Structure 1
Amino acid sequence: MSLSSIKSFRVDLDGPVDAAFTRGELVSGRVLLEVRRETRVLSIKVQGRGVATAHWLENRGMNSVYNDYTSRISYFRRRQHLIRDNGELTVLTAGRHEFPFSFQLPEETLVTSFEGKHGSIRYWVKVKLHRPWFTVRKIKKEFTVIEPIDINTPALLAPQAGTKDKMARAWYRNFGQVNVTAKIDRKGYTPGEVIPVFAEFENSTSRSIVPKAYITQTQTFIARGTMKQKRSVVATLCGDIVGARTRETWHGRAIKIPPVGPSILQCRIIKVEYMLKVCVDVPGTSKLCLELPLVIGTIPLHPFGSRTSSVSSQYSVNLEWLRMAIPEQPEPPPEYSAVVSQEEAEQRNGTSVPQPSAADDLSGILERPLQAFVQEFRFRPPPVYCEIDPNPQPLNIRPRCMTC
């Protein structure tokens, strides 16, 4: 039996292996084809694609019939002929042959590469080799796209604050009221940054409470008018016990953002959103949680500028949070089900799914480029999560003045 005439067939992209691209950039490389003897070729085509896909199966009822939920969005398609099929065969001599190619990504907004359990956003280069009387040989090479999110915009530099209270009850008995007020300096952060949390916990009950803070990630997949969500806790912060009828204040307690992927907000079928939840555990009753939205960006806060200067001057007044020790090997974060209050879980389970319509030096954090985080979140496995039916409930937040 004779060996195949093709010894090797692969595609290489120019630049580093972990390079990331963005809109408008040029993606270039070469197709490497090595043949053992003279080989006749009809054509060689290279195609660049970018596609977002959401997909899952659901079993309704006791039968074995599954409903297929699938949606796709194509962000770009580029095609180039390295050897064009013009009706005549091209004869390649024995040896190594290189075919360079290049195409430009669209100037329109792209979406950051993403891999999830129920969907993905992928970009790749595919090469097809057509020969007479042979099946088509195909090779595929994926690459990463990062859509920049600049946190130096007014919307992401705006402070986030809120207040929430709850009456602690058990067996028709009132233990008193718990009030939580929290504020963070801005909405946008980048991986590796430390978020100083300013909060006040007023415990008017007869029992002790335990304040905590969590950074949560919500992945939303949408297909055929239905959505599926995955929620997980990516960082935690535990405060000291607040005794009965006492008050506790956080003067910038630090919670560090791990190397997670940036927020995805521009895709119609896949979204990745983050939230800072400041919660209070009250023994004998349900949890009280206050949510502050976060956006994880890719362009860090500028070290110099009018807004940055005011932030720096504010931190220079109270630097206690910088000296707080963050353990090198923190305990793993809890599952999202441990963060959601009992009332929230009951409300979400009882309603239908809606239709889609610091220990680190700040200077080092701010100067880290985008490429420093690409490798970290690209190959890191996702955190442990639990699956729940989504039904976001509006927060009953009333503004309250607070002295930081």
Structure 2
Amino acid sequence: MVAVNMLELQNCYIALDSPSNTYFAGQTVNGKVVLTIVDSPKKIQGLVIRVKGVAEVNWTVRRWSNRNRRIIRYHGRQDFMKFTTYLAGSANGSTIELPPGTHTYTFSCVLPPNLGTSVEADHGHIRYTLKVVMERPWKLNKSYKMPFTVMQPVDLNYERSAGLPIKVQNIKTIYCFPCGSSSVNMFVNIPVSGYVSGQTIPVKIDVDNRSMTDMDAISTKLVQLITLISQTPYKRLKIVPKVIVKTRCSGVCKRSKKSYEQYLLIPPTPPTSTVCDVLHVNYSIEVVGKFGGFLKKLRIRIPITLGTVAMTIPSFESMTAPVVQQPLASTSASAPLPDDFPVPSGVASTSSFPVDSSPPTYEEAMNANPINIQHGRQSNCIGWQLNASDTPLLALNHSYEK
């Protein structure tokens, strides 16, 4: 049996009107499908495009009972959207024949306003894909699949607590024989609790070490907290922390005081999101004072909100570094649309997204691994894109179209 390279028979790609393949929830996705037939004409039942958005979480826990190991598999899923339309042919119509050459089809899809932000995490994801299916009578279908990014707008100007300063204190008591007990007081202060990607978070740390033990070092981290929520076999929460940015400074000697100011530059990262039923994204500032020996660390956590629209109050602009307008990366699976690309009438264009010639990828920003968007042994003869999050999820400092 001779193997045939199906890529030689036809080629397909999807081009979207957003150069970065990134959209806000509620916007309209406009694009075109370019299908090239090589060699001989192809008979098909129809050419379908499917837009899908799904959140899914999976993890396992091993339990031991009476010397028997039991594995519990937790799973949760939420379907955000399913959109299907025929570009050519129909489900119940007669077969059509596509002659050799290039065939171009346009499509338009309105995204629902309640979509969760695209996220790729350990044990879970919120993922949006476009899939072109060539339905063939009495034969296996062929398909081409690519991802795109959706962001749920988070305007910090409408978040009540985003503009408020936060100051947190934690006290650690250290017992020492024969000196008795003494304390280490640590204060952490941030000017506001709402930020966007590209901004710098100034973290002020004051330590009053009244003990006879040195604090060796202080680390300051921006931590992403992914909360996974299972639905089967029963509801269970799993929190997966991930350090996004980390700085380190020297500690505080015994019987002394010291103040530090650390700066955390927020890289491209998804905004805070809790609209999904099975996956939440939250952030916190974590300051940890480390001691030698077996002493426990002195830790302070401050929850913050990452948005897509920065606050405009003057006091915030004076306390932080200027907002950097980060670019959005383009996805390699789709080609840029030409200037004369036809956009359906009455549909708002999203060409206002900022673009840069050499932006960082989402994997570079988040140290993420490539994501396989195929499922199981799914056959795909035309092609597909390897990475589901090639586009960085950046907080945009501008208004969005509803």
Same fold at TM > 0.5: yes
Matches within 5 A, 1:231-380: 231-250=241-260, 252-284=261-293, 285-302=295-312, 307-308=313-314, 310-312=315-317, 315=319, 362-363=321-322, 365-368=323-326, 376=360, 378-380=362-364
Tell me the residue number matched to 2:388: none
Contact 1:261 1:377 (8 Å CA) reproduced: no
Residue identity matched to 1:132: P
Contact 1:211 1:238 (8 Å CA) reproduced: yes
CA distance in 1 between partners of 2:7 and 2:188 (Å): 68
Q: Higher relative contact order at CA 8 Å, sep ≥6: structure 1 or structure 2?
A: 2
C-alpha deviation, 1:291, in angstroms: 1.3
Q: 2:215 matched to 1:213? A: no
Contact 1:150 1:299 (8 Å CA) reproduced: yes
Contact 1:13 1:27 (8 Å CA) reproduced: no
Q: Residue 162 of structure 2: SS of its match in structure 1? A: helix
Residue identity matched to 2:306: I
Q: 2:66 matched to 1:93? A: no
Q: Residue 161 of structure 2: SS of its match in structure 1? A: helix
CA distance in 2 between partners of 1:52 and 1:40 (Å): 35
Q: Residue 152 of structure 1: SS of its match in structure 2? A: helix
Tell me the residue number matched to 2:126: 121
Among 103, 106, 109, the alignment partner of 2:109 is 103
C-alpha deviation, 1:377, in angstroms: 6.0
C-alpha deviation, 1:186, in angstroms: 0.7
CA distance in 2 between partners of 1:182 and 1:64 (Å): 45
Note closer, same or farther for the CA distance 1:172–1:232 as it changes in structure 2 (3 Å cut): farther
Tell me the residue number matched to 1:57: 60
Q: Residue 241 of structure 1: SS of its match in structure 2? A: strand
Note closer, same or farther for the CA distance 1:287–1:170 as it changes in structure 2 (3 Å cut): farther
**CA offsets 1:61-85 (integer angstroms, 9 cap, x no match):** 3657533222110111111112213
CA distance in 2 between partners of 1:372 and 1:265 (Å): 28
Note closer, same or farther for the CA distance 1:372–1:212 as it changes in structure 2 (3 Å cut): farther
Query: TM-score of the superposition, structure 1-length normalised?
Result: 0.73
Q: Which runs of 5+ in 1 are unaligned?
A: 316-357, 385-404
Contact 2:58 2:73 (8 Å CA) reproduced: yes
C-alpha deviation, 1:268, in angstroms: 1.9
Q: How many residues align?
A: 330
Note closer, same or farther for the CA distance 1:160–1:2 as it changes in structure 2 (3 Å cut): closer
Q: 2:141 matched to 1:132? A: no
Point out the more displaced range, 185-194 or 13-22.
13-22
Contact 1:234 1:383 (8 Å CA) reproduced: no
Q: Residue 155 of structure 2: SS of its match in structure 1? A: coil
Note closer, same or farther for the CA distance 1:65–1:17 as it changes in structure 2 (3 Å cut): farther
Matches within 5 A, 1:46-85: 46-61=49-64, 66-82=71-87, 83-85=89-91
Contact 1:187 1:295 (8 Å CA) reproduced: yes
CA distance in 1 between partners of 2:27 and 2:141 (Å): 30
CA distance in 1 between partners of 2:214 and 2:168 (Å): 23
Residue identity matched to 1:294: I
Point out the more displaced range, 118-127 or 30-39.
30-39
Choose between structure 1 and 2: higher helix proportion.
1
Q: Residue 73 of structure 2: SS of its match in structure 1? A: strand
Residue identity matched to 1:57: T
Note closer, same or farther for the CA distance 1:258–1:372 as it changes in structure 2 (3 Å cut): farther
Tell me the residue number matched to 1:319: none
Q: Which runs of 5+ in 2 are unaligned?
A: 329-353, 369-402
Tell me the residue number matched to 2:174: 168
CA distance in 2 between partners of 1:255 and 1:14 (Å): 34
Note closer, same or farther for the CA distance 1:240–1:93 as it changes in structure 2 (3 Å cut): closer
Contact 1:18 1:375 (8 Å CA) reproduced: no
Identity of aligned residues (%): 25
* CA-based RMSD: 3.0
CA distance in 2 between partners of 1:182 and 1:2 (Å): 65
CA distance in 2 between partners of 1:5 and 1:140 (Å): 14
Point out the more displaced range, 136-145 or 26-35.
26-35
Tell me the residue number matched to 2:36: 34
C-alpha deviation, 1:207, in angstroms: 2.2
Query: TM-score of the superposition, structure 2-length normalised?
Result: 0.73
